[in-house]
Amino acid sequence: MGSRRHRSPTRARSAIRRRSSHPAEASMSARWAAVVVNYESGDLLARSVASLLDDTSAGEPEVVIVDNGSSDGSVARLRAARPDVKVITAPRNRGYAAAANTGIAATTAPIVAVCNCDIKVDPGAAAAMTARFDREPDLGALGPSIFNVDGSRYPSARAIPRLRDAVGHGVFGLAKPDNRFTRRYRELDADPALARDVGFVSGAAVWLRRRALDDVAGWDDGYFMYVEDVDLCWRLRQTGWRIAYEPSARVEHVQGASTARRPYRMLLEHHRSLLRFAGKRWRGWRRLLLVPAAGFLAARFVLAAGAEAVTSLVRRRSPRSGIPRPTG
């Protein structure tokens, strides 16, 4: 494995290393843990937690909920149904990555699944995922098959796009999502029934090796929402860890459960996150492209917001439908 390049952690991310730095702690923990990040998810939180607790195929998991300041009663309903589950409440919404770091620091298992509050894990997923980590010691992150509520497959295992594909996807992805740039980025021509190494996997449900997380100081909590999964997998690969996809583990995802009520804010955060990642990734002459990239993303945000305004008239009749994720 390649040499590890450490980055300066924030206070939240350094807690991950402090909590898991002693081998004795890991030996006393469960085989795997699940961290569920919650925000205004209604009844979906209890459903998600139940599916995780019910999957004992790899032993009983540690389960920790990190709530980002919800006021919809979702945490109260969970506590009534599962009073034994640990819940960490934040006074405000600090974003997905910060909440993930908080939850990871509260667990000790060597494998940690970080999940959205609107996912449902199929029985046996934990066994499939932990077995891969056992067999492949250089595996840092592993993503399952993710399906939408209607049964369609969500392209959760993707490439980190080259500059040409990133620009092509950004230009054509809104109007023609089947364009060749988007197909390469989303790896739509890969066989979804076959395991493979990928550039990154969706943070909606991702299993992570704690030792790999320690090497990169956890999730970058400078991202509020979106692209934090791309960033994490990119940094893991930079330090020598592999990212892979496991098709035999299945997860259902209700997209937009926590974000549909704030579509324009979420679109803005998505484009901000894209620019942040470009600033971290691009080096040399590519850094000269950051200013025009900022202008392009600003224009693209306006177009995406306009598309959202038009389609919102239709979605008002289907309140559970999520916001469009044009760059996802």
Pick from 2-6, 126-130, 168-172 the range whose average pLDDT is largest: 126-130
Cβ neighbours for 23, distance < 8 A, ≥ 6 positions apart:
none
pLDDT at 319 over 60: no
pLDDT top residue among 314 and 66: 66
Task: Give the pLDDT confidence score for residue 272 in this predicted structure.
Answer: 85
DSSP states of 229-265: HHHHHHHHHHTT-EEEEEEEEEEEE-TTTTTTTSHHH
What is the Cα gyration radius of the chain? 19
For residue 177, the surrounding DSSP H or E stretch is: none
Say whether 327 sits in a helix, a strand or coil: coil
**Is residue 14 predicted with pLDDT exceeding 70?**
no
Mean pLDDT lowest for which of 251-265, 276-290, 301-315? 301-315
Query: Which is nearest to 110 in space by CA: 127, 85, 136, 130?
Result: 130
| Region 87-109 average pLDDT | 96
What's the rounded mean pLDDT across residues 167-185?
Answer: 90
> Given this model, what pLDDT does residue 174 score?
77
Distances (CA, A) of 242 to 11, 49, 117, 175, 278: 26, 28, 26, 33, 21
Q: Encoding tokens for residue 136?
A: 């492949």
Q: What are 205-235's pLDDT values in tens digits?
A: 999 999 999 999 999 999 999 999 999 999 9
For residues 66 and 103, is the Cβ–Cβ distance under 8 A? yes
Task: Check residues 166 and 296 and name the one with the higher pLDDT.
Answer: 166
What integer pLDDT is reported at residue 184 of this predicted model?
Answer: 96
Give 101: exposed, middle or buried? Use CB within 10 Å, 0-12, 13-18, 19+.
buried
Q: For the chain, what's the residue count?
A: 328
CA distances from 92 to 71, 115, 264, 268 (A): 10, 19, 19, 19
Q: Which fold has domain 11-159+198-253?
A: Spore Coat Polysaccharide Biosynthesis Protein SpsA; Chain A (3.90.550)
The percentage of the chain sitting over the pLDDT mark of 70, rounded to a whole number, equals 75
Average pLDDT over residues 175-183: 93
Write down the pLDDT at residue 327. 40
Is the pLDDT at 125 greater than 60? The verdict is yes
What is the rounded average pLDDT of the residues 139-151? Answer: 98
Confidence at 201, pLDDT banded by 50, 70, 90: very high
Q: What is the DSSP string of 82-111?
A: -TTSEEEE-SS---HHHHHHHHHHT---SE
Amino acid in the structure at residue 91? P
Higher pLDDT, 271 or 228: 228
Per-residue CA distances from 280 to 32, 151, 224, 229, 232 (Å): 31, 36, 16, 14, 12
- Predicted local distance difference test score (pLDDT) of residue 321: 42
Would you state the pLDDT for residue 108?
97
Q: What angle do CA 163, 169, 174 make, to 5 degrees?
A: 155
From CA 45, how far away is CA 196, in angstroms rounded?
30
pLDDT at residue number 7: 42
Query: Would the pLDDT of 22 be above 50?
Result: no
Cα gap 42→78, rounded to integer Å: 10
Tell me what percent of the residues of the chain surpass a pLDDT of 90: 63
Residue 64, pLDDT > 90, answer: yes
**Number of C-beta neighbours around residue 18 at 10 A:** 11
| Across 141-159, average pLDDT | 97
Q: What is the 8-class DSSP label of residue 73?
A: S
Residue reference for tokens 């969500």: 154
Task: Please give the pLDDT value at position 317.
Answer: 56
